[in-house]
Amino acid sequence: MALSHDVRSQPAEIRIEPMTPGDLPGVLAIERRSFPTPWSERAFVSELRDNLYADYIVARHGDRVVGYAGMWCILDEAHVTTIAVDPEFRGRGVGDRLLTALEQRALRYGCRRMTLEVRVSNHVAQRLYRRHGFRPCGIRRGYYVDNGEDAIVMWRDRLDPPGPVVTEEPGAEGARGAAAADGLEATDGVASSGVDSTSASAAGASGAAGGSEAP
């Protein structure tokens, strides 16, 4: 659906706040529109209620949840488990705001590095991550259980300062993504979770998504 003029002209009205159980209907609606094998409500409840290492946030426009993101912070490493934006609000900097907020929160929790997995085909997300200083460091072969797609493992080594750190030429992502996928060493697929909520490991770790996805 096309963005309304009202939404396009007022991106500053987006607020970033901690996710609460009351946000889950909005979160799940976006989740189902964003991932081929979405996390279940139980998976999110488990993350919010039981996982002491987990931190989840939402982006709000008025009362409406328009995006969300989450991570696990363990010692000095933060692992992004998911990030998604309502299709009606994409391309307006909401994903950028969410990732910056995760970086800021991770720094406060004492993390110095951040990692995530992303589908080889997901060039929009890769572009966002590269702009935030993430670099491809490996490949997890067949990481996504829905179609056997490979994941690119990306790391950002220095979280300070948070936010976008790299300016890239428009249109270069496709070639970079393919090069990254081709030129990297394969890993063994034992990630604790993944940014595309389709990863088997993230689903297993959260104990509810039934062998499907994470971002």
Ligand X SMILES: CC(C)(COP(=O)(O)OP(=O)(O)OC[C@H]1O[C@@H](n2cnc3c(N)ncnc32)[C@H](O)[C@@H]1OP(=O)(O)O)[C@@H](O)C(=O)NCCC(=O)NCCS
Q: Interface residues with ligand X (CB under 6 A)?
A: 34, 83-85, 90-96, 118, 122, 124-125, 127-128, 131, 195-196, 215
Q: Which string of DSSP letters, residue by residue, matches 2-19? A: PPPHHHHH-GGGEEEEE-
Selecting among 117, 149, 173, 213, the annotated active-site residue is 117
DSSP summary character for residue 189: S
Cβ-closest position to ligand X: 95
d(CA 106, CA 134): 15
Q: Which residue, 163 or 204, is less far from ligand X as judged by CB?
A: 163
Q: Which residue, 50 or 64, is less far from ligand X as judged by CB?
A: 64
Q: Which residue, 59 or 73, is less far from ligand X as judged by CB?
A: 59
Selecting among 129, 143, 173, 213, the annotated active-site residue is 129
Spatial contact of 73 and 111, defined as CB atoms under 8 Å apart: yes
The question of whether 185 is a catalytic residue gets the answer no
> Is beta strand 14-18 parallel, antiparallel or unpaired with respect to 54-61?
antiparallel
**Smallest gap from residue 5 Cβ to ligand X (A):** 17
d(CA 165, CA 46): 33
d(CA 66, CA 62): 9
Q: Which residue, 113 or 123, is less far from ligand X as judged by CB?
A: 123
**Smallest gap from residue 107 Cβ to ligand X (A):** 20
The question of whether 13 is a catalytic residue gets the answer no
Question: Rg of the chain's alpha carbons, rounded to an integer?
Answer: 16
Residues taking part in catalysis:
117, 129
